[in-house]
Structure 1
C-alpha cells in the first residue's frame, strides 16, 4: 500500500509537524510513504494511479486546474483522501471543484466574548462537544468513542447532503453573535466519491489537539478506512 502525504499552505497549522505525528502509524500499518510539499504531484497520473491513500494538510493556498483534476480523478478511481481541520476543510477556497469533492468547507470559528478577547489565537478557542451520530456510534472510524469535549477552534462548516456525518458540534446562541438559533455543523464525516473514500476530521488546529486520544484515534482509523479497498483496485 502506498500513502502520499501532501503538506504545505498556511504555517499556522504546522503542516510538517502535524503530518509527522502520523508517519510512524502509516509505516507501522504497512504503507510505503511518499511526502510532497506541494500539490503539483496531483497532476502526475502515474503517481496518483499508484497511490492508495492521500493524507493532505494544506490550509488555504491555491491549486491549479490540472492538479485538482488529477486529484478528483484519482479519488474517483479508488484512491482514499483524508485530512484534518484546515488542511482539508479550508483548502483551495477558490476551487469549486475541490469544494464539491470534499463536501464541506470551513466558514468561520466563532469567538469568545468580546470582554474575554486578548488579541491572539486563543480568542477563537472555545470549550465545545463533539457528539457522535447514530451512524458514528456504529461506523468503524468512530465506534466505541463516546462524545468528548475539546478546547480549541470550533469549525462552522458549510456542507451538502452527500456527506455521511459521524459526529457533529453545535454552535450556541450568544449575545455577541448575529445568529438566533443553535447551528449544528458536521465535525467528522465521510464521503463516497466514485470508488474512493474521503474522511474529514475538523478538530486539529494544533498539535495538542491532534494528540488528544479521541482525535488521534479518529484520524488514524480514518486513514485505514479511506485507503483503497480491494473492490477499487
Structure 2
C-alpha cells in the first residue's frame, strides 16, 4: 500500500512555491507516495485528518499561521507523521509562531554574504519599496556561489556517498535549535556589523526529532531551477523526505 504525503503551499511567490512543490510531488510519486497538495492552511484545521499522512511538507514563505493550526501540525508530527522541507518554504515561515519554529528547528535571519545586509521581516510591497529606495541591492544581490561541506562520519543515509559540492543560490544564515543533527555546513563570511565575528560554519542540512516524528530540513533551493543546477541538492531533499516519512 502506498504511503501518503501532504504539501501545503503559499506565501511569497519569489520562492516559486508551486513549481518547487510540484517537483517534490513528482519525487515522492516516484517513490510510490500519494501526494495531496493544498493552496491553503485550512488543511491544518483539525489534528485527526493529518494523522492519515506519513509526511507533511510546508511550502509557505513568511505569512502567518494560526496557533491552533500550529498545534494540530505539531501534534501530528509528535504522533509519528514526518515533517520535511527546504529553504524559505519551511524555515522562513510564520515568524510569529513559536510552536512552529520550535518544531522545525531553525529560522532564517540573513543572507550573510550580501552587500545589502538590512533584511526586512515582512515582504510587503511597502517594505520592499522602502528597501529598494534607501538600501538598493544589485541584481542577484542575494545569490552567491558557495561550497556545501558534507559532514563526514554523519552516519546518515541522507548524505551518504554525496561529495562536497558547489551551488549558486541564496546562502542562509539561520538561528538554530542546538539539538539538531547537522549533516552539512557551509562557511559564511558576513558583511556589515556581524562581520566582526569572523567566518561561521553554518548548518545547511539537518534533522531532528519531535516526539515520534522525524524532521528534515535543507536550506538549499531559492527557486526551482537550483535543483537542476545542483542535482546533489535535489538528491539530499529526496533522501531527506524519505527519511522523515513515517516508517
The answer as to whether partners of 2:112 and 2:189 remain within 8 angstroms in 1 is no
Structure 2 residues not aligned, in runs of 5+: 117-134
User: Which consecutive aligned stretches of 4+ in structure 1 deviate over 3 angstroms post-superposition?
Assistant: 111-114, 117-121
CA contact (8 A) 1:131 1:168 kept: yes
Please give the per-residue CA displacement for 1:116-140, whole angstroms capped at 9, x wherever unaligned. Answer: x98355111111111111344x310
SS in 2 for 1:205: coil
When residues 58 and 101 of structure 1 are mapped into structure 2, their CA distance, relative to the original with a 3 A threshold, is same
**Aligned counterpart in structure 2 of residue 84 of structure 1, from 83, 86, 89:** 86
**Per-residue CA shift, 1:96-115, capped at 9, x if unaligned?**
1111101111011024457x
1:167 corresponds to 2:167: no
Aligned to 2:142: 124
Give the match for residue 215 of structure 1. 233
Q: Pick the aligned partner of 1:71 from 70, 73, 90.
A: 73
Partner Cα distance (2:194, 2:178) in 1 = 25
Residues 178-212 of structure 1: CA deviation (Å, up to 9, x unaligned): 42211221100001110000100001101121222
Segments of structure 1 that go 5 or more residues without pairing to the other structure are none
Given the two structures, how large is their TM-score scaled by the length of structure 1? 0.91
CA contact (8 A) 1:167 1:189 kept: yes
Aligned with 1:206: secondary structure? coil
Report the more deviating stretch, 165-174 or 208-217. Answer: 165-174
Query: Contact 1:43/1:68 (CA < 8 Å) preserved in 2?
Result: no
Deviates more, 1:69-78 or 1:202-211: 202-211
Distance 1:121 1:217 in 2: 29
Q: Which residue of 1 aligns with 2:207?
A: 190
**1:23 paired residue number:** 25
Q: CA deviation at 1:7?
A: 0.7
Q: Does 1:148 align with 2:165?
A: yes
Query: CA 1:43–1:177 in structure 2 vs 1: closer, same or farther (change >3 Å)?
Result: same
Counterpart Cα distance in 2 of 1:34 and 1:110: 35
Tell whether the 8 Å contact from 2:189 to 2:195 is kept in structure 1 after alignment. Answer: no
Instruction: From the superposition, tell whether residues 91 and 182 of structure 1 become closer, same or farther in structure 2 (CA, over 3 Å).
Output: same
Aligned to 1:32: 34
TM-score norm. by structure 2 comes to 0.86
SS at 2:14's partner residue? helix
Number of matched residues? 225
User: Of 61, 71, 77, which aligns to 2:63?
Assistant: 61
CA contact (8 A) 2:114 2:190 kept: no
Q: Tell me, yes or no, if the aligned pair for 1:135 and 1:165 is still in contact at 8 Å.
A: no
The answer as to 2:195 corresponding to 1:179 is yes
